[in-house]
Structure 1
Amino acid sequence: MADFTGLQHESRYKLVCVAGPSPLFYIARHPHEQAGQAAMKAFYYQRASMPLERAYAGQWAREAGHPDNIVLLHPSTGQKGKISSPEGWYDAGDYNKYIVNSGITMGTLLSLYEDYPQYCKGIRLNIPESNNKIPDILDEVSYNLRWMLTMQDPADGGVYHKLTNASFDGMIMPEQATQPRYVVKKSTAATLDFAAVTAQAARVYAKIDKPLALACREAATKAWQWALQHPKEPYRQDEMNKQFQPPVVTGEYGNAQFDDELSWAAAELFTTTKDEQYRPHINRMAVRYWQVPSWGQVGVLAYYTMARYDAGMKKDVIAFADNLLSGSDSTTYQVVMGKKAGDFTWGSNSVVANQGIALMQAYKFTKDKRYLNGAVALLDYLMGRNATGYCYLTGFGSKRVMHPHHRVSVADGIPEPVPGLLAGGPNPGMQDKCTTYVSKVPDEAYTDDDCSYASNEIAINWNAPLVYLIWAIEAAYPR
C-alpha cells in the first residue's frame, strides 16, 4: 500500500521501484469526474430509434436503428395487432429492450438524482437535450422512461415483459438489424418493476416536467392494480415457446418470486402518494437476509427509499453496510468484494458497484468516513485495483477493456470500443465457453474478448450503479 495524502499538486504521477515503473496515475481533487460522465453518457450511446450525431457521439456516430413504431403483439399476449413502442435503451450487448432490467436501472439512476440533486444538476453530458432547462441525467432517463410507458396496455394496466426480436441479431450495426420485433406476454415482475419506476419518476419529475409526472403517476397506480389482480404471473420462456410461435430465445429475465418487486413498488407508491394502502405491502426483512440489489432481487431498493425518512429503516441500512464492511480489511485488495467466491457471478462488477452504493447510503446518514473509504476502495477495484489489473470501464485505464461483447463496438469498424461501458467482470461460470480465459480462479475468471458474454458483456443495469457510485463519491467532496 502507498499513501499519497501528502501530495497536494494536481498532476499525473508514476511510482518507480525495483520492479519497474507503475502506470501513470492522477492525483486530483475530483479524479473520477470524467469516468462518471462517460459512464452516464454510455446510455446515450445505447439509444434506440434515433441517429447518433457526430456533434454528440464523435467517432461513434451512427444511423438510427429499430424505430419500433410497428411492433407485433406476440401470440403469448393473447392479443392480435401491433403497437408503437419507440425510444428506450438497448439493454446490453444486444438490441432488445427489457422492462425488468430497465426497472433496477431506472430506479438506481432516479435514486441518484433524489439523493444528490444539486450535484446532478451540475453534470453536463453533451447530449441533444443539453441546452434545455432539465438536468442532463433526467433528460437521458426520460428517453427510456417514455419507452417504458408505451409498454403498458392501456386497457388493463398490465405491462409487457419485453420488446424483442424472436432471436438475437448477429454482430451487426443497429440499422442493419431488421428482424420483426415483438412484445411478449405481460408478467407480474415487469408490471411491479414498472409501477416502482413510474411512481418514483412521478415525484422526481413533478417540478420539472408536470405532464410526464402525471402520466407516470397514473401509469403506476394502474400497474399496481393489475399486479394485485395477477399476483403470480411469471415469465417462463421455455413454457411459452411450447405454446406459441415464433419461439423467443432472447434474454428471459425470468422470476417466479415477487415479494421483493411488490415491496419496492409499494415503497415508491407510498412515498409518492402518501396513501396508507401501500404501507402493509412493504416487506420488513431481517438485515441478515439482505442482498445487494440485482434485477432479480430488488427488495433493498424499497429500504433505501423508506430510509430517507424512516428511522428504523435507516438503522437497518447502516447495519447492512456494517455487515458488508466486516472483514473487508483482510481481503487481498482490502475491499468488500471477494469476501466469498460467490461474489463472482454473472455481472460481478455490478455487485461491486451495488456494494459501494450500500456503503454510500450509510455514509449519507452517518458521515462516518469508514463507509466513504470503503466505497472509494470498491471504485478503485473497478478501475484496476483487482486481480486482473484491468480497468473495467471502456475508454479508461492503462490496461483497458478493448473488446467488449457489444454489437456496436464489434461492428462499427472503430478500434476503440464505445466509451463508458462497464464490463461484466470475472465470472467462473464461463457460460459462454469462450476459449481465451486464462484462469478459473474466481476473481481472475475474465477475458477481454467479444466472444465472452459471460465476463465481458455490458448492460444498463451494470452501468447504473457505477454512475451512482462515482457521482455519490464525487458529491461527498466539496467542489
Structure 2
Amino acid sequence: MNNNRLGFRIRKINVTLLFIFVFSMANSQSSWIRVNQVGYLEEDVKVAVWVSKENNSISEFQVMDMATQKVVFTGSTADIRDTGKQPAFESSARLNFTALKTPGTYILKAGETESVSFRIGNDIYAGTAGIPLQYMRQQRCGYNPFLKDSCHTHDAISVGDPDGKRDELYFNTVGGWHDASDYLQYVTTSANAVYQMLFAYSQYPESFGDNYDANGDEGANGIPDILDEAKWGLDWLVRMNPDVDTYFNQLADDRDHVGFTLPNEQKVDYGWGAGKDRPVYFVSPKPQGLFKHKNRSTGMASTLGKYASSFSLGAQLMSPYYPEFSALLAQKAEDAYKKGVENPGVSQTAPGGAPYFYEEDNWADDMQLAAMEMYKSSGQKEYLTQAVNYGRLEPVTPWMGADSARHYQWYPFVNLGHYHLAVQQNDLRAQKEFRRNMKTGLQRVKERAEGDAFLNGIPFIWCSNNLTVGFITQCRLYHEITGDNSFLEIEAAMRDWLLGCNPWGTSMIVGYPEQGDTPEDPHSAFTHLHQIPVTGGIVDGPIYNSIFSNLIGIYLANEDKYAGFQSDYVVYHDDYADYSTNEPTMDGTASLTYYLGYLSAQAKGLERVAGGIIRGGQSKKQLSLVFTGHEYADGARTIQKVLKKNNVKGTFFLTGDFYRKYPGIARDIQKDGHYLGPHSDKHLLYADWQKRDSLLISQSDFEKDLNNNYGTMEKIGLKIDSPRYFMPPYEWYNRQISDWAKSMGVQIVNFTPGTTSNADYTTPEMKNYLSSEKIYDNILAYEVKNGLNGFLLLIHIGTDPKRTDKLYNRLEDLIKELKKRGYEFKDINTLLNN
C-alpha cells in the first residue's frame, strides 16, 4: 500500500471516529444551530437557523470572533424570526446577523447551543469554481484521466430506430460522461451539462483556471479547464449526431445495474459479449423501451433543442481555440434546430427492466433556448421571434411553486432562455415580459417557502438539490439584470442549504468544504469499493419520505447518523445504499459551475461597470499598465525598452489595423512576455456618447469585428492569450456589448477612472487637453489620496503627431516612483486572477 493511500485510510478512520462522537453528541443534544459551513460574503443576507427537539424559544444570540474570543454581534428579538414547529423539530427560529460584515472566523451561540465555525469575507469562495470539474473529469467515459485507463471503448450498436431501418448498426459513440454512479449516458443531461458549463464560462471567465489539458490530465494547455470539459461533452454529442438525419438520445440502459464496479472493470453483456458493445437509442417521437416498460415520447424537440443550444454556444466559445470544430458545431446547431422545429414534443429516455426513466414532459423551453442561441450567433431576428413564441408556451418552469413532480418531469430545472430574452435589447416588450416571467417563478417558490425555518420552497422530489441549484441560478441572474433585492434572502438561504444550513447540518457537495460535514458514503463504486472520494459531486439531496419508502431496491446499509433529524415528511441519508438521496449526479454538478463561478469572482474583489471589469482587487498594492493603440505606434519601442529595463510586464490592447500595420512591433511585444489582446478590428464606436444604452452596431457586426481582430493576430503569428480580455475602442461600451463579448468567451475590461492618464491622446487645440506633466502630477496626487491598488492604468502606445508632449516619455519616472511607494506591476491576467 502506498503512503498516500495509507494516509487517506487513517484520515477515514479519524473521520469515522469523529462521526461516532458527533452521533453520540446528537443523541444527547436537544437543539442545534445550522449555518453555511463555508461562510458568507460581506454583503450577504446572513441567517443561521436554530432548531430544537423541545418546545422552546430564544430571545437572544451572540456571534463570537474565534480569533479574539469576543462577542462581536448580539442579536435581539428584532433579529430573530420564530418559525415554530418544523419536520423533526418542535421549535425553530431564523437568526439574522446580516449587519456583521467584518471579515473573520466566527461561531454563533444561543444559550448553551453553538454552531460550527464559519467565515465572513469576500475571499472565502476563491477557487471554488473548479471544484465541480473534479467530479466531471472523474465521470468521463472513454479515456478517464482519474483512472488513467479507458472504459466502454466498443460503444455502440443502434437500437430502437423509430423508422425500423437502422437497428443493429455500429456507431462510434465513445466518450462523454457517465450520468451518475451507474454508467448510462444521456443526451438530455449531457447536453444540458455542456450548456451549463459554457454559460458559466461566458458569465465569469475570470473564475476558471487552466491546470489540466484536453484529456483531463494535469498540465495547462492554454485553454480554460471548463472549456476543456465542455468540449469533452461536445465531442461526444457530435458522435451522437453522426449525420443530419441521425440523432441518438441514450447510451446503454438499466441492464447496466448489475452491481458496483469501476467503469473500466464493468463487464455487462448486452448480447454482444461481456464488456463489449452497448446499445445506443435513437431520438424517437414514439414511445420506446425494449422490455415491458415504455416511455411516453411524443416528439423530438426536447432533445434536439438541447443539441442545438449546446452546439450553438459551443460554436461561439470554441471558435478562438478550435475554428474548424466551431464551424462544424454551428452547422450542426442549425440542422438540429430545424429538425426540432419540424418535430415538436418530447423524446424521453428509454426504460429497461425497471419502470424508471427521465419523464421529461416539456420541450418548448429547450427550443426557446436554442432559438436564442441561434439568434445570438446569427443576428437573424426570426430566431428572436421564434424564441419569444416558444417562451410564451411555458412562461414559468412548472416545478416552481409545485408540491411535487415526476422524475425530471420539467427539465432543465432553470430556463436560461428566459434570461437571454430578458437581457436582449431588440424587443423591449419581450424583455420586460420575460423579466416578469423570471420573477413570477421565483415568487412562487418564495411563497411556498413561507413558514419554513430554512426558507426552502423546493419540492423534495428525486434530485431536489438539482432544482435548488437551478433556483439560486435564476435568483442570481434576476438580481443582476434588474437590481431587485426581493429574492436575496431566499437565494442566500438556498445556497446555505446546500452548504450545511439544513436539518441535517451537512453540505450536499462531496468534500466541500474540506473540513466540514459532507457526504462520506455516497452511492459510488469509487468510494464504496475503493475509498476514493468523488470530490465536487453534488448528491441528489433530500426526498419526501413517501417517495423514499416506495423506491425499488433501496435500503440503508449502515446506522443512520442523521436519524434524529429525519421525519415522516423528508429524509436524507449519507449511505451508499440510498441511491435516491446520496448519489452524485453529473448534470447537477455541472449546473453548479455558474453559481460557484459567481462566488469565485467575488473573491477577486473586481470592480465592474456595465459588465466590464474596471479595477482589480484592492487588497494588494498591485496595478497593471495597459497600453492601447490604433493608428500610431511612435511610443512602442520606448515603452518596450522601459518595461524590459524595469522588469515590468504590461498589457497591450491593439486594433486589427494596428496589428496589420505594425506586425513586427506586436510580435516583439509578445516575445517580451506581455499580454496582447484586441481593441476591435476597425476602432468602431459601439454606443452613443450621450445615450450609452443606444447601440450603434449590430451583434453580427460586433462579432465580425472582434473575430477579425483575433484572426489578424493569428495571421501575423501571435498566440491568443487566455483568459480572453478585450478593451473596447474609445474605451466606451454598454451592458449589451459586454453580454455579446461574454457569449464569445471574452471579458470586457476598461481603464480605472480617476487619474486622467487616458487623456494622453489629447492635442493642444482640444478643450480637454492635458499636458504630460499635468497628467503625471494627477496620477501621483490621486495615489496619495485614494491609492492605486488594482488599477488598470491606461497609456496610449502612440498619439497624434500634433501632440509633441508624450506621456510615455515619463513612463520610467512613473514606474520608479510607484515602485518606491510600494507598488508591484502585473500584467492584466495576473492582476485580475491574483
TM-score calculated relative to the size of structure 2: 0.50
Q: Does 1:234 align with 2:347?
A: yes
Alpha-carbon shift at residue 389 of structure 1 (Å): 1.4
Give the alignment of 1:98-137 within 5 angstroms. 98-117=186-205, 119-122=206-209, 127-128=216-217, 130-137=219-226
Give the alignment of 1:215-254 within 5 angstroms. 215-232=328-345, 234-235=347-348, 237=350, 252-254=357-359
CA contact (8 A) 1:333 1:385 kept: no
Among 362, 365, 371, the residue aligned to 2:481: 365
Tell me which amino acid in the other structure corresponds to 2:432: K
Alpha-carbon shift at residue 262 of structure 1 (Å): 2.3
- 3-state SS of 1:356 partner: helix
CA contact (8 A) 1:269 1:278 kept: yes
Which structure 1 residue ranges, 5 or more long, are not aligned? 53-60, 239-246
Which structure 2 residue ranges, 5 or more long, are not aligned? 1-94, 269-276, 285-299, 401-407, 607-616, 618-834
Tell me which amino acid in the other structure corresponds to 1:319: R
CA contact (8 A) 1:69 1:83 kept: no
Q: Which has the higher helix share?
A: 1
Cα deviation code 1:352-400 (max 9, x no counterpart): 1111111111222134455455433321111011122111111135322
Alpha-carbon shift at residue 252 of structure 1 (Å): 3.2
1:13 is matched with 106
Among 344, 347, 353, the residue aligned to 2:460: 344
Give the alignment of 1:67-216 within 5 angstroms. 67-74=152-159, 76=161, 78-79=165-166, 80-117=168-205, 119-122=206-209, 127-128=216-217, 130-154=219-243, 156-165=244-253, 167-169=255-257, 170-179=259-268, 180-187=277-284, 188=300, 189-216=302-329
Alpha-carbon shift at residue 220 of structure 1 (Å): 1.2
Tell me which amino acid in the other structure corresponds to 1:191: L
Among 521, 524, 537, the residue aligned to 1:406: 524
Give the alignment of 1:299-448 within 5 angstroms. 300-310=415-425, 311-320=428-437, 322-323=439-440, 324=442, 326-327=446-447, 330-333=450-453, 335=455, 337-338=456-457, 343-397=459-513, 398-414=516-532, 417-428=533-544, 429-430=547-548, 431-432=550-551, 434-436=554-556, 438=563, 439-442=566-569, 444-448=570-574
Alpha-carbon distance between aligned partners in 2 of 1:435 and 1:84, rounded to the nearest angstrom: 38
CA contact (8 A) 2:128 2:600 kept: no
Among 391, 396, 412, the residue aligned to 1:284: 391
Alpha-carbon distance between aligned partners in 2 of 1:157 and 1:372, rounded to the nearest angstrom: 46
Cα deviation code 1:243-282 (max 9, x no counterpart): xxxx676963344553332222222222222234434432
- 3-state SS of 2:415 partner: helix
- 3-state SS of 1:183 partner: strand
Alpha-carbon distance between aligned partners in 2 of 1:203 and 1:461, rounded to the nearest angstrom: 22
CA contact (8 A) 1:333 1:386 kept: no
CA contact (8 A) 1:71 1:183 kept: yes
Give the count of matched residue pairs: 453
Alpha-carbon distance between aligned partners in 2 of 1:67 and 1:3, rounded to the nearest angstrom: 52
2:373 is matched with 268
**Range with bigger deviation, 224-233 or 402-411:** 224-233
CA contact (8 A) 2:184 2:254 kept: no
- 3-state SS of 1:90 partner: coil
Q: Does 1:457 align with 2:583?
A: yes
Alpha-carbon shift at residue 146 of structure 1 (Å): 0.6
**Range with bigger deviation, 180-189 or 223-232:** 223-232
CA contact (8 A) 1:375 1:469 kept: no
CA contact (8 A) 1:120 1:137 kept: no
Cα separation, partners in 2 of 1:386 and 1:331, compared to 1, 3 Å: farther
Alpha-carbon distance between aligned partners in 1 of 2:454 and 2:438, rounded to the nearest angstrom: 15
Q: Does 1:41 align with 2:134?
A: yes
Tell me which amino acid in the other structure corresponds to 2:370: A
- 3-state SS of 1:215 partner: helix
Among 396, 411, 419, the residue aligned to 1:297: 411
Alpha-carbon distance between aligned partners in 1 of 2:395 and 2:253, rounded to the nearest angstrom: 40
Cα deviation code 1:5-61 (max 9, x no counterpart): 546354x43345543442222333222235432223211111111242xxxxxxxx4
CA contact (8 A) 2:107 2:116 kept: yes
- 3-state SS of 1:14 partner: strand
Q: Which has the higher strand share?
A: 2
**Range with bigger deviation, 431-440 or 35-44:** 431-440
Cα separation, partners in 2 of 1:124 and 1:355, compared to 1, 3 Å: farther
1:57 is matched with none
What RMSD, in angstroms, separates the aligned Cα atoms of the two structures? 3.1
Choose between structure 1 and 2 for higher RCO, CA contacts under 8 A separated by at least 6 residues: 1
Alpha-carbon distance between aligned partners in 2 of 1:284 and 1:69, rounded to the nearest angstrom: 40
TM-score calculated relative to the size of structure 1: 0.84
CA contact (8 A) 1:287 1:316 kept: no
Alpha-carbon distance between aligned partners in 1 of 2:495 and 2:447, rounded to the nearest angstrom: 18
Alpha-carbon shift at residue 462 of structure 1 (Å): 1.2
Alpha-carbon distance between aligned partners in 2 of 1:174 and 1:393, rounded to the nearest angstrom: 22
Alpha-carbon distance between aligned partners in 2 of 1:165 and 1:329, rounded to the nearest angstrom: 37
